[in-house]
Structures are given as structure tokens and as C-alpha cells.
Chain A
Amino acid sequence: MNPVRAERVGLTATEYRRVCELLGREPGDVELDLFGVMWSEHCSYKTSRPLLRLFPTSGPGVLQGPGENAGIVDIGDDLAVVMKVESHNHPSAVEPYQGAATGSGGIIRDIFTMGARPVAMLDSLRFGDLEDVHQRALFREVVKGIGDYDNCMGIPTVAGEVGFDPSYAGNCLVNAMCVGIIRHEDIKRGAAAGVGNAVMLVGSTTGRDGMGGASFASVDLTAASQERKSAVQVGDPFMEKLLLEACLELFRTDAVVGIQDLGAAGLTSASCETAARGGVGIDLDVELVPRREDGMSAVEVMISESQERMLVIVRQGHEDEVRRIFDKWGLNAAVIGHVTEDGMLTVRQDGEVVAQVPAKALAEQAPLRHPQAERPTWQDDVMRLDETELPAVSDWKVVLKDVLRMPTVASKEWVYRQYDSVVRTSTVVGPGSDAAVLRVDGTTCGIALTIDGAGPMSLLDPATGAAMAVAEAARNLVCSGARPLALTDCLNFGNPERPDVFWQFSQAVAGMSKACRALGIPVIGGNVSFYNETGTLAILPTPVVGMVGVMDDPGRACRQGFVAPGDSIVLLGECTDELGGSVYVHMVTGRTAGHVPVLDLERECLVQTVCQGAVSRGIIRSAHDVSEGGLAVTLAESCITGDIGAHISLPGGVRPDALLFGEAPSRIVVSVAPEDLCALLEMARNAGVPATLLGCVGGSDVILEVGGRSIVQAPVTELADAWRGALPGVMGR
């Protein structure tokens, strides 16, 4: 037993002993390095896996649940959606442009390695306070990195969200999601099979970029991390575009037995995972790997995270067919080994064996960790909010404009104008509404997409916050008229070895599971990102949910803006006095504080059913859910994006700050033609959903009354300037 050796590759003494047991001997140097990267948290999920079993992962439409490169759900017509969200937080914190770009690149490969044509990208981002010049630089570079990659790939970036909180200052969050469409019969899997079949490495060359990226992602960020830029990969979207087209062309042949992209831990993970999934072995020689640098050691070749590469298991005798296709696209395709029956990953250098370990041991047998979870002592302090100390407000218009200017609430047009959201001519509803809607080629149906995270609410109560992320994503989809089908999650947390962080994580997983079951939405894949902290400051626990839904007629998709003068405005759901966790509270107290609003999942379900039903029946003209900023912001946004005013009377009896800016869930503001009002109210009544007529669309002013007293009257253009002007004002045009 040699603790120094274990420590060198980031393994604990217990883990090292386990390696020795599995091998029946001490590992050689190369072997130990392979275990180091594969048993890192990033690759093995050794801490999160036991809890993730709580998620409901099956359902009638699920064609592929967690465990593959991406999840797959049926959308009818023999078609399916392939999707996954993944974090690229640490690379982006150190090298924002390349970190974000390769975040896109990695998730796109996860989708086309399943055989699908990627059709949409979404992103969920978090940064610190934009008053800080460094945060502005991070934000600018991350957005540019995503845009340059996605735009060049010709995949529209159709939706996303951005939030800001000081806790993300040292550790921004960059979660990228990719969605593809595939015929059922064309689904490919990352499993090797057929002894003697060729193992080919295709795409780009291998260099020393992204060395040890997986291990880098599995420790806290420190000042020294800034020196680890070599752990960040360098992206080349042009190369990936060629790889995408070449792979899709390759899939039309019958040469492919299995395929897997090279992501974290590079060739090591791709080879041992495909072998383990197929119950076979792989014997490869690193000298056969096409390189871009001289003098690379066997370990360097095995753990390099050079981008834009795929490992393909090719039916014997079809190697030339593969070479011909990749040659057409100007890409490498090299046979680096073959499939064996012994279940071992055998790594050779010039023919000589330098590592030989069971593929399953590397890929699947990292000892699970069960860290201590303990509700933090500070949790009660966070929840303490003396609402009597909130400021007395004399001018609500000023406050409304202030909230509209908060970066988390303000229009994200500055971001999405830099993304091509309409390439592929399928985008029916693009960025800037509750959900994006795409038509699906070869059918008359459409899919709706959204991504939502819940940081502040999860700090107050991780279980409820995580459930709220699920509920909000589903609510966004029903606002467009879609029926939610499945979700993919990205769980961004601090260091799980800390009991308070692990408590947050376990609570969040439980809360999310509960919401998924209540709403009948399975989890088909996802990603966990731990160690998001700098010094002792952990990020807000941030569960992020990407969701897909389906609708029969994308031509009927609903948007968030009010449409026609005279339409009635109705609130589905209730007005409550809950202020906890709101942007407003943070704005006036500088804290994320208070009790998390109540989430009644049964109510949530009913509200969503009524909204979805009414949109698909063509009754509803606009729908916008109440989220960050509260009811007043929802109403203002519907006016601004519809470019039309509204006269709104809210009931008295609830404290006005909570009424206007509280962020209680399960609420949707809809507008209907006057002749359809009765039908909507009846649908709501039959479902037991509270529905309140709030007012009427029209004019050029937003007029808000509370209890019969006018408290805000402002031209739509004035509110629009505040909302639209906020980010360009900080970031520059």
C-alpha cells in the first residue's frame, strides 16, 4: 500500500486498496492514472449515484434513460427527442471563452453520438454581480464562446436563462443543453460488441490540451486553478461540424456497431465505457492514435481531452468505408485497436502492454461515497426575514422599474441577439418567451423546450427549490401549449464532502423526485457538478432542469405577449403574501432570505392542465408564468413583449409588495378574447383552479390598481426601456 501513489492521482487510501483488490496486485503507473481519472467524481458519480436512484427514470415514452450519452423520449410518428444538459463550470471560470465553447461542443457530441441530428441548443448561466468588471468580462466571454460555437455548428440556440448572485463570483455556472431528433430505428449506443471488430478513433488529432480535465472538475476552484488553464480544452466548431456531418453520413452505412464521443477522461473513458457496456474488452495501441504533438506519453494520450473526436466500433471489414467517409470530410480515421472477449482494457505502446485492467472496474466499480449530510446551523438564519422591516414604498412605479432593471429579471436580448436562433428554419417561437417551439420535420407536430434553474429558492429550502425548478420548467412548456414529456437535469452544488452541501444536495434530489412523480415527468439523463466553490463560499445550490414537451400544432403555439385590445387578463392560481426568496427581497435587503413559498404539487398540476388544455383548444391568446420578479413583472413583460398596454385591478387584502413581487409558484397570467372568457373560467372551475379576472388589454399605458386604488401608471415604452435597457446599459451595446 502506497498512500503517496494514491494521492498523486487524487484517490483515497480506501479507493487505492479497492484498486489493488480488483486487480489482485498493485496497479502499474499507467493503470493508476487511468483509475485516477475514471474514479474522479466527475466521471464516476461516486458521491451522487446512490441518491440519483430516487429519480423516476422510466415511463411509456422513455426509449433511453440515464446511463447512456443522452436520454431519449418518444414524440410519436416513430420519432424521438434525444437530449442532455451538462455543466462546464470550472473550465468557464478559468477560461470563459473556451470553457463555454467546449461545453457546447461536448454536449453536441453527446447528442449525435446517439445517432441524432442536433436541432437546438439551450443554456443556463450564472454569474456574480455585474457591477464587478471581472464578472462582466466572464459574462461577455461565455456568451461569445457559446455563440461562436453554436452559430458555426448551424444549430439554433433557442432558449436559456441567466441569473446573477454574488455567490457565483468565483465559480460561474455554464450549463449547456442540446436537443436532437432521431428515428427510433436509427438510435446508436455506446456499447462495443463483436470480438475482432475494429476500434477506430475518428475526427481531430490528439494533443496535450484538456489534460486531466475530469480531475480538475472534481476539486474546489482555488487561486491556483487560474494556473491550470492547460486543463481547459480548446474548441474548434468547424472541426465539430465536419465530424457531425461525417458521423451522420457514417450512420447511413451499416459499419457502426457502437459509438461514443470522447469527453471527460478522453480515450480512457470512451474505451472502458463502451467495453463495459458491451461486456467485452478493448485492446488498443496509443502509438496508432493520430497526434498533433510529439513526445506524448501513453498516459497523456489516454487522458487527453482534445475535442472533436469519437471512438467508433466498426464491423470487421468495413474499416475502409469509414476511412473513405472521413477522408471526404477531411478528417482522421485510424484503427487503434480491436474488440476482445476478455473484458479487459488493454493499453499498448508500440505493441508492449503498459496497462491491462478490467474495463468494468474502471468504468463502473468506483467505491461509492456516502458523505455525511447535515442541515446547516445557518439555515434558520437564512429563513429569517422580518417583513415589517421591508421599506415602506411611496412610489410603486419606481420600484417596478427597479425590479425590471435587476439583471436576473431584465430582458436577455443582449445575450440571445448574439446567438443564431433561427438557422435550420424550424424555430416557430424563439428566445424571449416562456418556452421555445420548433416544428418537427416530416410531421405536423412541434416540440417545446425550456431550461430553468432555482438558486435562491433552493438556498432557502433545497427540496422545495428543486421541486420548483421542475414545476417552473413544466409550467413554461404548458404556457406554449405543449404537454411535458421528459426532463434532463444538471445539479450544481458546492463541495459534497461538506455536510451542509451534501444535505442541500440530498434534499434537492428528494424534492426533485417528488415533483417529477407528481407531474408525471421522468428524468432521462443528466449531470452532477460538485465542488462549485471558492475558498469557503459555496454557490447557491442550483438545480437546473431542461425539459421537452410536444404539441400537435406548432401553428397554435402561445407566446407571452398580450395580443389584442379588449382581451381579458386572467390569473390562474392565487395571490399570496409570500415574499421569501424573491428578487424584490434581495433588491431591498441585499439578502436571499425568508421562507420559501408553498409549492402545492397537486395545485401545480391542475393549473398546468387547465392552461395546456385551453391553449390547445385555441382559447388562450397569450400565457406567461409568474416567476422571477413576481406578478407585476409578469404583467409588465406581457405588455412589453406584446407592445400594448393593460388596465389591471388586483385584489386588496394582501400586502402590496408581496402581491406585486412575491414569487409564489403555480401561477400563470393568460389573456383571452372576451367571448372565450366564460369557457376559460369554466375550465378552471371544473378543475378546481382559482381563476381571477385581473383586467383588460389595451391602450399604451400599464395601469395597476390594488384594492381599487391606482398605484402604477406608466407608458409601456417607459417600462420597456427599463427592462430592455438594463443589460445593454451595463454590458454596452
Chain B
Amino acid sequence: MKFAVAVFPGSNCDIDAYRAMGAVLGQKVEYVWHRATDLSGFDGVILPGGFSYGDYLRPGAIAHFSPLMTSVVRFARGGGIVIGVCNGFQLLTEAGLLPGALLRNRGLTFICDTVHVRVENAGTPFTSRCAAGQVLRLPIAHGDGNYSVDATTLAAMEQKNQVLLRYCSAEGTADDAHNPNGSCANIAGVVNEQGNVAGMMPHPERAAESLLGGTDGLFILGSVVDVLTRRDHESCAC
């Protein structure tokens, strides 16, 4: 099993994702340059946080046209696991792999903080280690995390269980008071209809070691490892 961490010009959480998957979770992981097009041999792709192409135009708008993204779209359409964190989430919405868009935070300032999020759907490859309703404590750091989606799409997403994470209190109450950026329906992360592509504003890779203040991120990254490990075994058994 091997993970790809995409590197666009301006990515800066690539090293954090690499470290969390490699040094912390003990998985094989490689950086993949934005001009690369070959994702064969990879089982999961991480689109990391940062400011790809300087967030010119709007976050993710230019990275969407990079050669690598064409391959990522193909990889995702083929059922490959793709997780986008922060700028990676913005990129997935720009690429049309996830519904909605990420607007400026409602306070118009960048926010770096630690927040609580509630796991809304524990039946995805990204939350298999979690219980439904479980509260995770995760870092956020973004200027454009205000998730927005039209009412019809939102209703469909809710119906199909596509809301993955919601901002909430430490006790699990999702409300406006605990929503840092004004996102629609307090959404912090979503998953596509097929369940193999997820995007989230919180940074699970930054919450992977107790020395740095918490390990709740491993509930998410570890879930992906579990699911792919199972998939590996199953394919061997065949």
C-alpha cells in the first residue's frame, strides 16, 4: 500500500502529510510533483494544505488545471481514495470532485485555532475508526473555509450522508457559536456520493502526535489505512 502526497508550487502542508503517513503511521508515502501524470502504484492520494499557485484567482482555481489533477480526477473516478485537506479541499471543489465551494471566512480574517468537529458519517473510508457522533479535536488554519452550497444540493447531500464533519462544541453540539468560519450547516468536511473522495478544512495530519497536542487526526488518517489494508488483503485473497 502506498500513498501519494501531491506537491503543487505553493503547497506547504505536504511535509506534514508526508510525516503523518510515513513516520507516524508507518506507511509508504511519496511526493508527487504537479507535472507528473502517473499515479499507478498508489492506493491513496493526499492533496495537502497550503497556497497552491499562491491562491491566485481563488484557492485551488489554478492547481485544478495542473497535469497531476487530470490524473487525480481519473484516479478518483476509478474508485481511488482521495483526501483533500484545507487547500486540498478547495481544490477538490474546484475540480468538481466534491460539491460546493469554499468562500472567505465570514470574519474576513485568517483563523488558526483548534476546534471540535463531530463525525456525521462513520461509514466512510475516512471515518471507519470513528463512532457516529464522535467529537474530534483538530487544528484549523485557513482564510477561505466558509463552505457554501446551494439548498437543493445540500438537501441531497444530507440525504446521502455526504456531510462528513461538522463544527461543534466539546460536547458535540453543532451550532453557529462553534462555527469558526460561517460555513453552511456548520460543515467542516464532506465526502462524494461514491464515498471515496473526502475534503475537510481541519488538518488531521497536524493532530497525529501527542507531543504536538493531540492525536485525534489519526482517527481519520488511520481509517484510510485500515480500509486500504483490508482492500489489500481482499485482493490478495482473490
- B208 contacts the other chain (Cβ, under 8 Å)? yes
Minimum CB–CB distance from A730 to chain B (whole Å) comes to 15
Question: What residues of B have a CB within 8 angstroms of the CB of A733 in the complex?
Answer: 107
Q: How far is the CA of A268 from the CA of B13 in the complex (A)?
A: 36
Contact code string B199-219 (vs A, CB < 8 Å = 1, else 0) = 000000110110110000000
Contact A427 B212, CB 8 Å, known A154-B13, A422-B139: yes
* Complex contact B110–A148 (CB within 8 A): yes
Contact code string A290-323 (vs B, CB < 8 Å = 1, else 0) = 0000000000000000000000000000000000
* Complex contact B110–A554 (CB within 8 A): no
Question: What residues of A have a CB within 8 angstroms of the CB of B55 in the complex?
Answer: 152, 238
Chain B residue with Cβ nearest A152 = B51
* Complex contact A422–B9 (CB within 8 A): no
Q: How far is the CA of A154 from the CA of B13 in the complex (A)?
A: 7
Chain A residue with Cβ nearest B11 = A154
Q: B residues 1-46 with Cβ under 8 Å of A?
A: 9-10, 12-13, 15-16, 19-20
Q: A residues 205-262 with Cβ under 8 Å of B?
A: 236-239, 241-242
Q: Could you say which of B15, B16, B19, B141 contacts A151, with CB atoms under 8 Å apart?
A: B141
Chain A residue with Cβ nearest B112 = A420
Question: What residues of A have a CB within 8 angstroms of the CB of B12 in the complex?
Answer: 152-154, 241, 423-424
* Complex contact A424–B141 (CB within 8 A): no
- A329 contacts the other chain (Cβ, under 8 Å)? yes
Q: Could you say which of B15, B19, B211 contacts A428, with CB atoms under 8 Å apart?
A: B211
* Complex contact B112–A418 (CB within 8 A): yes
Chain B residue with Cβ nearest A555 = B211
Chain A residue with Cβ nearest B210 = A555
Q: How far is the CA of A706 from the CA of B53 in the complex (A)?
A: 60
* Complex contact A425–B205 (CB within 8 A): yes
Q: B residues 38-62 with Cβ under 8 Å of A?
A: 49-51, 53-56
| B interface secondary structure, majority | mixed
Question: What residues of B have a CB within 8 angstroms of the CB of A42 in the complex?
Answer: none
- B232 contacts the other chain (Cβ, under 8 Å)? no
* Complex contact A417–B211 (CB within 8 A): no
Contact A238 B112, CB 8 Å, known A425-B20, A439-B211, A554-B211: no
Question: What residues of B have a CB within 8 angstroms of the CB of A427 in the complex?
Answer: 212
Q: Could you say which of A241, A242, A419 contacts B112, with CB atoms under 8 Å apart?
A: A419
- B122 contacts the other chain (Cβ, under 8 Å)? no
Q: How far is the CA of A420 from the CA of B156 in the complex (A)?
A: 34
- B228 contacts the other chain (Cβ, under 8 Å)? no
- B113 contacts the other chain (Cβ, under 8 Å)? yes
* Complex contact A152–B110 (CB within 8 A): no
Question: What residues of B have a CB within 8 angstroms of the CB of A236 in the complex?
Answer: 54
Count of chain A residues with Cβ under 8 Å from any Cβ of B? 32
* Complex contact A420–B110 (CB within 8 A): yes
Contact code string A425-438 (vs B, CB < 8 Å = 1, else 0) = 11110000000000
- A144 contacts the other chain (Cβ, under 8 Å)? yes
Q: How far is the CA of A147 from the CA of B110 in the complex (A)?
A: 8
Q: Could you say which of B9, B10, B15, B111 contacts A417, with CB atoms under 8 Å apart?
A: B111
- B109 contacts the other chain (Cβ, under 8 Å)? yes
- A175 contacts the other chain (Cβ, under 8 Å)? no
Question: What residues of A have a CB within 8 angstroms of the CB of B49 in the complex?
Answer: 423
Question: What residues of A have a CB within 8 angstroms of the CB of B53 in the complex?
Answer: 238
Question: What residues of B have a CB within 8 angstroms of the CB of A152 in the complex?
Answer: 10, 12, 51, 54-55
* Complex contact A238–B54 (CB within 8 A): yes
Question: What residues of B have a CB within 8 angstroms of the CB of A416 in the complex?
Answer: 112
- A330 contacts the other chain (Cβ, under 8 Å)? yes
Contact A422 B209, CB 8 Å, known A152-B10, A153-B12, A238-B53: no
Question: What residues of B have a CB within 8 angstroms of the CB of A422 in the complex?
Answer: 112, 139, 141, 206, 212
- A421 contacts the other chain (Cβ, under 8 Å)? yes
Question: What residues of B have a CB within 8 angstroms of the CB of A241 in the complex?
Answer: 9-10, 12, 51, 54
Contact code string B178-218 (vs A, CB < 8 Å = 1, else 0) = 00000000000000000000000000011011011000000
Question: What residues of B have a CB within 8 angstroms of the CB of A329 in the complex?
Answer: 9
Minimum CB–CB distance from A197 to chain B (whole Å) comes to 29
* Complex contact A151–B56 (CB within 8 A): no
* Complex contact A421–B15 (CB within 8 A): no
Q: Could you say which of B19, B20, B56, B141 contacts A420, with CB atoms under 8 Å apart?
A: B141
Chain A residue with Cβ nearest B16 = A425
Contact code string B112-143 (vs A, CB < 8 Å = 1, else 0) = 11000000000000000000000000010101
* Complex contact A423–B51 (CB within 8 A): no
Q: How far is the CA of A523 from the CA of B12 in the complex (A)?
A: 32
Q: Could you say which of A153, A237, A425 contacts B212, with CB atoms under 8 Å apart?
A: A425
Minimum CB–CB distance from B61 to chain A (whole Å) comes to 13
* Complex contact A425–B19 (CB within 8 A): yes
Minimum CB–CB distance from A311 to chain B (whole Å) comes to 22
Q: How far is the CA of A238 from the CA of B52 in the complex (A)?
A: 8
Q: How far is the CA of A422 from the CA of B110 in the complex (A)?
A: 14
Chain B residue with Cβ nearest A421 = B112
Q: How far is the CA of A554 from the CA of B210 in the complex (A)?
A: 12
Question: Which of A239, A330, A420 has most B Cβ within 10 Å?
Answer: A420
Minimum CB–CB distance from A394 to chain B (whole Å) comes to 37
Q: How far is the CA of A589 from the CA of B139 in the complex (A)?
A: 43
Q: B residues 134-181 with Cβ under 8 Å of A?
A: 139, 141, 143
* Complex contact B9–A238 (CB within 8 A): yes
* Complex contact A151–B110 (CB within 8 A): yes
Contact A418 B109, CB 8 Å, known A238-B51, A439-B211: yes
* Complex contact A154–B9 (CB within 8 A): no
Q: How far is the CA of A417 from the CA of B56 in the complex (A)?
A: 23
Contact code string A497-511 (vs B, CB < 8 Å = 1, else 0) = 000000000000000
Q: How far is the CA of A428 from the CA of B13 in the complex (A)?
A: 17
Question: Which of A417, A421, A423, A427 has most B Cβ within 10 Å?
Answer: A423
Q: How far is the CA of A587 from the CA of B40 in the complex (A)?
A: 67
Q: How far is the CA of A424 from the CA of B212 in the complex (A)?
A: 11
* Complex contact B112–A417 (CB within 8 A): yes
Chain B residue with Cβ nearest A414 = B109
Q: How far is the CA of A419 from the CA of B208 in the complex (A)?
A: 21
* Complex contact B9–A330 (CB within 8 A): yes
Question: What residues of B have a CB within 8 angstroms of the CB of A242 in the complex?
Answer: 9-10
Question: What residues of B have a CB within 8 angstroms of the CB of A421 in the complex?
Answer: 112
Contact A238 B212, CB 8 Å, known A151-B141, A417-B112, A420-B112: no
Q: How far is the CA of A147 from the CA of B53 in the complex (A)?
A: 17
Minimum CB–CB distance from A157 to chain B (whole Å) comes to 9
Q: Could you say which of B20, B56, B113 contacts A238, with CB atoms under 8 Å apart?
A: B56
Question: What residues of B have a CB within 8 angstroms of the CB of A154 in the complex?
Answer: 12-13, 50-51
Question: What residues of B have a CB within 8 angstroms of the CB of A419 in the complex?
Answer: 110, 112
Chain B residue with Cβ nearest A420 = B141
Minimum CB–CB distance from B108 to chain A (whole Å) comes to 10
26 contacts between A and B (CB under 8 A): A144-B109, A151-B110, A151-B141, A152-B54, A237-B54, A238-B53, A238-B54, A238-B55, A241-B12, A329-B9, A417-B111, A417-B113, A418-B110, A420-B110, A420-B141, A422-B112, A422-B139, A422-B141, A422-B206, A423-B13, A423-B206, A424-B12, A424-B16, A425-B16, A427-B212, A439-B211
List 17 other contacts, CB 8 Å, given A154-B50, A154-B51: A151-B143, A152-B12, A154-B12, A238-B55, A242-B10, A329-B9, A330-B9, A417-B112, A419-B112, A422-B112, A422-B141, A422-B212, A423-B141, A425-B19, A427-B212, A428-B212, A439-B211
Those 9 A-B pairs whose CB atoms lie nearest each other, nearest first: A154-B12, A238-B54, A420-B141, A425-B16, A152-B51, A418-B110, A420-B112, A418-B109, A147-B110
